[in-house]
Amino acid sequence: MTVTATGDVGTTLVIGATGTTGSRTTAQLTAAGHRVKAASRRATQLPGAEPVRFDWYDPATFGAALDGADRVYLVPPVGDPDPAAVMLPFLHRARAAGVRRAVLLSSSAVPEGGPAAGAVHRALPGLFEQWAVLRPSWFMQNFTGTHAHADSIREHGVILTAAGTGRVGFVDADDIAAVAVHALTDDRAPDTDLVLTGPEALSHDDIATIVTQVTGRPVTHHHLTHDELRDRLAALMPREFATMLAAMDRAIADGAEDRTTDTVQRLTGRPPHSFRTVAERELTPRG
């Protein structure tokens, strides 16, 4: 376990502060007494943080967001197949503005130099002496929050994937945020990429079974082909991005995500949460 700094670590700019990991990272940083600038397109007020407007596609918002910040948590623009086009100019400005440490949210499915955030991952060490790339597996909150899987579970009792029986080390967004906080505030930055998983690898059939047991409502996993999933997603988003997501499901089917790591335990000093724990926390009927 690393040792967290006890002194003043400055101000952290959290981009995507209203999102799944950004909101949790903001909450955990402020709870620990750190100064946070919470960046979102609407400058939403979050408890304990300074709201600031930020839009990846509006460089006019960059200056005010960076003012006074010496570290930054980077959440790429959602749904953009080439986020480096807007992120790299911002990162150059961030370095010039005095940002010393950058922590990027990427994905276990995206290697350095790969698609999506992979190009940003490759550039980060050359821009900042202190850095980390978080590469979490698929979020457990995909089945409990506002993701398409969660909506499909609530509305139709089904999970639709092309992942077959492939297993994934699904990870709790709370655990991702806990690692982000350490990467942002520890005396020494990780200066590496960190693959984050939960404690066990589960298939989507396993997920459906656990959700059924926790909620008392039947949920099943419907197996789609790669092409069926791609075409379904292409009706909702740019085809290029839909094709990339479908390819990720095919990789899961081929075993690419069937792994677990000790990263959460190693950096936070506690084990990662299981999917059953998260499902009981977020899906158990109340009242």
Rounded CA separation 120/200 (Å): 29
CA distances from 280 to 51, 52, 213 (A): 32, 34, 10
Rounded CA separation 103/120 (Å): 11
- Evaluate if residue 3 carries a pLDDT over 60: no
Domain assignment present for 276: no
- Evaluate if residue 2 carries a pLDDT over 80: no
pLDDT digits (tens, 9 = 90+) for 104-140: 999 999 999 998 899 999 999 999 999 999 999 999 9
CA distances from 19 to 13, 148, 173 (A): 14, 15, 10
CA distances from 76 to 6, 57, 156, 258, 268 (A): 30, 11, 30, 25, 24
- Evaluate if residue 4 carries a pLDDT over 50: no
Indicate the pTM of the whole model: 0.94
> Mean pLDDT across the chain, nearest whole number?
95
- Evaluate if residue 24 carries a pLDDT over 80: yes
Single-letter amino acid code for the residue at 173: A
User: DSSP assignment of 190-209, as one string?
Assistant: --SEEEE--SS-EEHHHHHH
| Contact between residue 281 and residue 172 where contact means Cβ atoms under 8 Å apart | no
Domain assignment present for 160: no
Domain assignment present for 153: no
Domain assignment present for 62: yes
Among residues of the chain, what percentage have pLDDT more than 90? 90
Of the given ranges (13-17, 145-149, 180-184, 200-204), which has the lowest mean pLDDT?
145-149
Q: Pairing mode, if any, of strands 101-105 and 167-168?
A: unpaired
Domain assignment present for 226: no
Rounded CA separation 225/207 (Å): 19
Q: Note the helical H segments in the chain.
A: 20-31, 62-66, 84-96, 118-127, 148-156, 173-185, 204-215, 226-234, 239-253, 263-268, 275-283
- Evaluate if residue 75 carries a pLDDT over 90: yes
- Evaluate if residue 5 carries a pLDDT over 50: no
Domain assignment present for 35: yes
| Contact between residue 94 and residue 72 where contact means Cβ atoms under 8 Å apart | yes
Q: What is the CATH number of the domain that holds 31?
A: 3.40.50.720
pLDDT digits (tens, 9 = 90+) for 236-250: 888 988 998 999 999
| Contact between residue 47 and residue 24 where contact means Cβ atoms under 8 Å apart | no
Query: What pLDDT score does 66 carry?
Result: 98
- Evaluate if residue 286 carries a pLDDT over 70: no
pLDDT digits (tens, 9 = 90+) for 39-50: 999 999 999 999
- Please tell me the number of Cα atoms within 13 Å of 283 on its side-chain side: 28
pLDDT digits (tens, 9 = 90+) for 221-239: 999 999 999 999 999 888 9
pLDDT digits (tens, 9 = 90+) for 84-104: 999 999 999 999 999 999 999
Domain assignment present for 192: yes
Which 3 state secondary structure label does DSSP give 253? helix
- Evaluate if residue 57 carries a pLDDT over 90: yes
Query: What pLDDT score does 8 carry?
Result: 63
Domain assignment present for 133: yes
Rounded CA separation 241/234 (Å): 8
Query: What pLDDT score does 81 carry?
Result: 84
| Contact between residue 175 and residue 273 where contact means Cβ atoms under 8 Å apart | yes
| Contact between residue 27 and residue 47 where contact means Cβ atoms under 8 Å apart | yes
Rounded CA separation 197/17 (Å): 22
Supply the range of the domain harboring residue 88.
Answer: 11-137+172-196+259-270
When divided into structural domains, the chain yields a total of 1
DSSP assigned state of 186: B
| Contact between residue 17 and residue 47 where contact means Cβ atoms under 8 Å apart | no
- Evaluate if residue 277 carries a pLDDT over 80: yes
Count Cβ atoms below 10 Å from residue 177 Cβ, excluding itself: 23
H or E segment to which residue 50 belongs = strand 50-53
